Structures are given as structure tokens and as C-alpha cells.
Structure 1
Amino acid sequence: MPALRRSEIGWNERFRRCLYFFLRDELDSVLITQSLIESYKAFKEKGQEYPFVEMRELKPRAKIHGREYPEHKQFIVIFNEEMLPSDAKLFIRFFDSNKVTKENLMLLSVFDLQDVFHQRMRYFEDTEFVSLLKKLLGADYALLIQRDPSVKARYRFGLSHFHVRIDWPVAAAAQDLGRYLRYVSKDLYEKGEKTGELLQQKLYEYYGFYHTAGGRRTAGIVAARFLARYDFISTVYIASSEARTLIRTSEQGVSKYVLIRVPNSDIEDLAKIAKMKESDFSSAYLIDRAPDYGVGIFQVKYAHNEYSTPPADGKLRELNPEYHWLNVDLQLLIPPPTSGDARPLIYSRVYG
């Protein structure tokens, strides 16, 4: 079920949602920095050329076959508006054994005796939260950030669990999506094995991937589909060392963030649009500058179309694998998080 709209929730929930959106913006900036900017720095420090994403890789249904780059950060972060119910533990593995405590962090070799940890660090409001988050991004599996369940702290969000495994089967996720979009009524294979297999491929496309995507991206989209069954907002961030991309899925749809080369001719044009000197533009929008180009952060937002949204009449329909389920909706050159006053600029690159 989709998340409840603002008009459908109570006053306290509205306040909490406003706080969630504010904190999510903060999390966006942290994870863009960690997944892209810090990865870029790691390549430069080793004297290696950064493997920029080609525009064809950002088109819907693009096939990406490449190696993983050890220098590029990879992680999954789940940020929930509410606390996951206990029955979700069957498929999203969050237990006392992987709760963010000093004992668990030491037991799973994330922290050692030299590391300083206190319980307040787990919460967004603490000045050490980002430091803890950065350290835990290197742990296996996913991180879980959600609302503190205590009554006294009902407006507090924190990092509750790490080493969170996603154990919901891909077939179950595809069946759930197929029922939501009315391509099947009950069972994934009710229209035959071919349709069932196609729906599993379409599940990947729905979240912006090709169906051969690797394990981390698969876990991320399965988590996103599982969380879509609840009436609260969830956001899943997936950083891939193969795709060199940060993917964000939420109630707003799918977005991809990548680093791209911005040629000098475009820098000149964009600076005029922004009504800035080229030197000021470079300082505000680029993370690095070479003689022939600058390095910028590029965001592509995708929109679902009539084939990937529930039909208005609610009737069952046939699946045509040739129809695309995503369209490029918006392309932006976004300023680095350190440029707080600069605004994103329209920058159409995917289709040349």
C-alpha cells in the first residue's frame, strides 16, 4: 500500500513527517558526499582515473556490465518514517544481536577498544551521529535508521541496527509488485512461467536497474518493495561500486546520482544561466577542475508511466515486456552539499 498522505495522518504524525523530510535532506547530503565525492578522492589519492558513468548507462533499461571498483564506496541505508513492526523480522533481519550497541559493534569487529562510542551517537540530534554513520557504512549488509519507539522520544530518529540482511525473495517482491500493478491477481505464475519470469525482470526495471544487477542492488530493491507494503514513508539508498552510482528510492520515485565531466563549453553556458562568473560557478558547482572540463554531480529523476502505475479501472491487464516502465523525468546538475546557497540547474545530458 502507498504511504498515507498528509491529509490522512494526525497532527503529531504531520510534525514527525516534517522532521523526517528535513532529516532526509541531511542524509541525502551525507550519502552523496560519502558515495561519490569521497570515492572520487580515493581514486585521485591513488593516482587512478575515475571511471565516470556514461550517459547511456542512465537510460531506462540500460544494461551495465562492469567490474566492481574497490575504491568506490558501496552500501545500503534504509531510512523509515516509523519503527518497523516485529513481524518484519522474518524478512528484514533486525534483532538484538545486530542492534547498534558498543558490545555488538565490537563483537562484529566494526569497533575496537580504541573507539569511543556512547548511545547518544545513534541519534540524528547528536553531533557525532554523522561520524558514526560514516564508520558503519563500511559494514556488510544494510544500515537501518528509524523512529525511536519510546513515547518520550516520539520525534527522534536514530540508527537502530547494522548488519541488516534482506531475506525477502525476489519472486515474492515481483509477485507483490505484479498484484499492485494488476498484472496478476494472486500468484506470480498464475499466467504461466514466462509471465512470472518477466515480472521478476520488470521488478528491476521498476526501480531503475537491469535484471542482471548484482547482489547489493538486488537487496536494495527487494527492501524497497517490501517496505512499500506499509503505510509510512521509507527511503532506500543504494551505493554501487560497479555502477558508480547512488540510487535513492522513495515515495518521490527513483533518482540516480553520479559524477560526470562537464565540458568547458557547458560550464560557460551554465555560468551564464546561473548569472555567475565562471570561476564562481566552478567553486559553487564543481568538485574538481581539469583543463578541459570540470567534475560535477548529476542527478537523474525517473517517473513511472501508465504501464508501471495501477490502472484507473483496477482491472487485470496483460504484461507487454516491450513497454518501458520508467521515463527520464528531470536531469539536474546539483551543487555539492558544501554549496548551501547554490540551486540545482537543469542540465539535459542523458539523450545528448
Structure 2
Amino acid sequence: MSCKHRDYLSREEKLRRSYYEVLRDELDQFALEYSLVESYNNFLKVRNPYPFVELRELKPRARIPTVESDAQNSFLIIFTEDLIEKKHKKYIRYFDANKTTKNNLLRHKSFPDVENFNRDMKFFETRDFFSLLRSLLPIDYALLIQKRHNTMARYALTHFHVRIDWPITEAAEDLARDLRYISKDLYEKGDEYAEDFQKKFFEYYGIPVLAGGRRTAAIVAARYFSSFPGIATIYVSSSESRALLRIDERGISKSVLVRLEENDIKKLVDIAGMNLNNFSKNYVIARQRKNYICIFNVKYDHTLHALPSEGGRLRELKPDTNWLTVSEEQILPRPSVINHPPIPFKMVYS
């Protein structure tokens, strides 16, 4: 995503961005907990083995199994730095009918505690914000968190059941123009060329072409918000991928649960400079016999083929080139832990 760099912000805008990033850190931890840790516990409750992601699935262009499970928590959250202007409602479908008001929530049976709803719950700073967020996540489509109107830096969960209606072809065309694979129209070089680029559009965001609805909506939203001056962060969790995909101005990352053996734990303990007991307390989600369950995070960078061309020159698409490369791999602390950092640990190509 491209947004206005911090160096070009006013002091007021810098303060707002700093506040946004603090709130985003909190949302990161909530999303990890709900997507991964609570999903793992869901599988335990129904006595089904957890379907751990194979490391090969984290490689760029990997083929991912399409097996789904109701025990995996799925959701789509859009968190924008700025208020979304009304002109964007054509493609980002937020209206009075899907505002987070008590009357609107009464129409949705999946919202369990509407009688105790109060209007302050939707504000990020309030104690009950994450309770409200959690209760709305099972509802289809996206949840929208954005800056409130006429406030410098107060954020709220303003809308639920938000559809992303920008066509994939238009999103792909927008990216193709930016990267100079076309001059204007996606089909200007023929149907096959357009189809090939749409496949690369999915690869650009790290998901397979046949990805389900939430992940497809997530990458279309990511592309749509890429032209905004403010930051937008997209979180999507799906039962197919068993992963939390996060897209923001810095790029793409995926977080999954991994099962580590004792040899791996010994290496991690040495890297972190702590004893096993301290490591288990701060990084281990669960134990499976001799194995340790941890959160593994992978960050990706775009290759030269997925960056704007030098000098803005038009170029030809080469479908066989890789558009993503693994840039960072790390074991994350448990979501509730605040005083321990991620531990660098390479696994994808080991």
C-alpha cells in the first residue's frame, strides 16, 4: 500500500498516526488471539485434531488445500486511519442500515447480547470495545473501524456487514497500470494477457487464485485503499488457510500456529537468552505431548517484477516470475505478553 509518508505529515497528522499505530498494535494482538489461539481451542473442544499449516504452504505461490472447518474462526476487519468519504460508498458498502446501532443489530440473530448494547461500546478506547468486536466477527462480510467524523483521533467500529463491491478486474487493472504492465485497459493486450495478470494480482497479495470470498474481498479492499493518503490495515482469517493474513502500508504478513519439537525449542531458548520455563510462559500457546505450539509469523517483500518499473516504462508480463519473497520469519510471543519481542527463526525453507 502507498500512503503519505510520516515525513510529509503535519504535527497534528503525525500525532494521529502515532495514535493509530498504538491502537493497531492492540488490534494485532486481538486478531492473533481470535484467529489462531481460540481456533486451536475450538478444535480441542470438538475433539478434532488441529490442521496445522505445512511450511510449504507459506512459500510464495504455494498451493493451499481447500479443506474448511467450522472450528476455525473466520473474519475480515478493515481499519482505516482516516474517515472514508461518502463518494466511496459505491464500492465500500457502508450505509445507515449497517451502522453499529442497537436497532440495526436487533435485525441480526447472530448478535447475542444486543439488549446490553450501548453506543459507547463501539469506540476503540472503551473497555467493552473488543467484546463488541468479538460478538460481530461471525457476521458475514467485513467490519469497518475508522476515524469518527469531526474528531482528530477517535476511532470506532462504525459499520458491520460491509461488502467490498469493487470488481476484481478493476482492482487488477489499477495494479497493472501502477506497475506499468498496461497503459490504460486490462484487456488492451488481449484476453489471455488480462487473465494472466489477474492471477498475478492474487499472487501480489500472497493468496491463491481460487481463494475464498473473504480473502478475495480483503485483497480487493487492500488495493482500493492503496490510493488513500492514510493507512489502511486489513486483517483476514479463513478456515481454508488456517492463517491470519495482514495487509498494510508495509506489505504482507501471515501468522500461523506451528508445532515445534524439542530441538527447535532449544535453539529458540538460546536465541532468546532465556530458560525453558520462561520461554514456555511467554511464547508457547499449548503442548502436544513433546511438541510445543507457537505462533509463527512470515513477512513478504515484493520482487522487482511486482514493483513500479524503472523510469515508468511499459513492460511485458512474465507469468512465470515470482512476485513475492520471504523477508522475515519469527516466533511471536503469546498475544497477552507485552514485555517480550518476536524471536527471529527461519523455518519456511529449512
Normalised-by-shorter TM-score class: over 0.9
Q: Could you tell me whether the CA contact under 8 Å between 2:79 and 2:144 is conserved in 1?
A: yes
Q: Letter of the aligned partner of 2:41 in structure 1?
A: K
What displacement does 1:113 show? 6.7
Q: Letter of the aligned partner of 2:183 in structure 1?
A: S
Q: What TM-score, normalized by structure 2, do the two folds share? A: 0.98
For 1:55 and 1:94, locate their aligned partners in 2 and report how far apart those are by CA, in whole Å: 37
Q: Could you tell me whether the CA contact under 8 Å between 2:102 and 2:114 is conserved in 1?
A: no
Q: Could you tell me whether the CA contact under 8 Å between 1:285 and 1:334 is conserved in 2?
A: yes
* Residue of structure 2 equivalent to 1:24: 24
Q: Secondary structure at the match of 1:213?
A: coil
Q: Could you tell me whether the CA contact under 8 Å between 2:203 and 2:323 is conserved in 1?
A: yes
Cα displacement string for residues 293-345 of structure 1 (whole angstroms, at most 9, x for unaligned residues): 10000000000111101013111111000110000000000011122111111
Q: Secondary structure at the match of 1:20?
A: helix
Q: Secondary structure at the match of 2:200?
A: helix
Confirm whether residue 106 of structure 1 aligns to residue 120 of structure 2: no
For 1:213 and 1:4, locate their aligned partners in 2 and report how far apart those are by CA, in whole Å: 30
Provide the aligned length of Structure 1 versus Structure 2. 350
What displacement does 1:216 show? 1.3
For 2:286 and 2:112, locate their aligned partners in 1 and report how far apart those are by CA, in whole Å: 35
The one of 332, 347, 350 equivalent to 2:348 is 350
Q: Could you tell me whether the CA contact under 8 Å between 2:105 and 2:114 is conserved in 1?
A: no
Q: Which runs of 4+ in 1 moved over 4 A?
A: none
Confirm whether residue 267 of structure 1 aligns to residue 259 of structure 2: no
Q: Could you tell me whether the CA contact under 8 Å between 1:178 and 1:188 is conserved in 2?
A: yes
* Residue of structure 2 equivalent to 1:290: 288
For 1:223 and 1:144, locate their aligned partners in 2 and report how far apart those are by CA, in whole Å: 11
Q: Secondary structure at the match of 1:259?
A: strand
* Residue of structure 1 equivalent to 2:206: 208
For 2:224 and 2:12, locate their aligned partners in 1 and report how far apart those are by CA, in whole Å: 25
| Cα separation, partners in 2 of 1:256 and 1:166, compared to 1, 3 Å | same
Deviates more, 1:3-12 or 1:71-80: 3-12
Q: What TM-score, normalized by structure 1, do the two folds share? A: 0.97
* Residue of structure 2 equivalent to 1:138: 138
For 1:350 and 1:257, locate their aligned partners in 2 and report how far apart those are by CA, in whole Å: 12
Deviates more, 1:282-291 or 1:19-28: 282-291
The one of 288, 308, 329 equivalent to 1:331 is 329
Which consecutive unaligned segments of at least 5 residues does structure 1 have? none
Cα displacement string for residues 211-253 of structure 1 (whole angstroms, at most 9, x for unaligned residues): 1111111111111111112111101101011110000000010
RMSD of aligned Cα (Å): 1.2
Q: Letter of the aligned partner of 1:17 in structure 2?
A: R
Write out aligned runs for 1:55-94 (5 A): 55-94=55-94
What displacement does 1:65 show? 2.5
* Residue of structure 1 equivalent to 2:6: 6
Cα displacement string for residues 151-208 of structure 1 (whole angstroms, at most 9, x for unaligned residues): xx32101101000001111100100000011100100011111110011101100000
Q: Letter of the aligned partner of 1:284 in structure 2?
A: N
Q: Letter of the aligned partner of 2:10 in structure 1?
A: G
For 1:112 and 1:212, locate their aligned partners in 2 and report how far apart those are by CA, in whole Å: 33
For 1:115 and 1:277, locate their aligned partners in 2 and report how far apart those are by CA, in whole Å: 48
What displacement does 1:290 show? 2.3
Write out aligned runs for 1:37-48 (5 A): 37-48=37-48
Which consecutive unaligned segments of at least 5 residues does structure 2 have? none
For 1:172 and 1:113, locate their aligned partners in 2 and report how far apart those are by CA, in whole Å: 39
For 1:296 and 1:114, locate their aligned partners in 2 and report how far apart those are by CA, in whole Å: 35
What displacement does 1:47 show? 1.6
For 2:66 and 2:140, locate their aligned partners in 1 and report how far apart those are by CA, in whole Å: 21
Q: Could you tell me whether the CA contact under 8 Å between 2:234 and 2:246 is conserved in 1?
A: yes
Q: Secondary structure at the match of 1:107?
A: coil
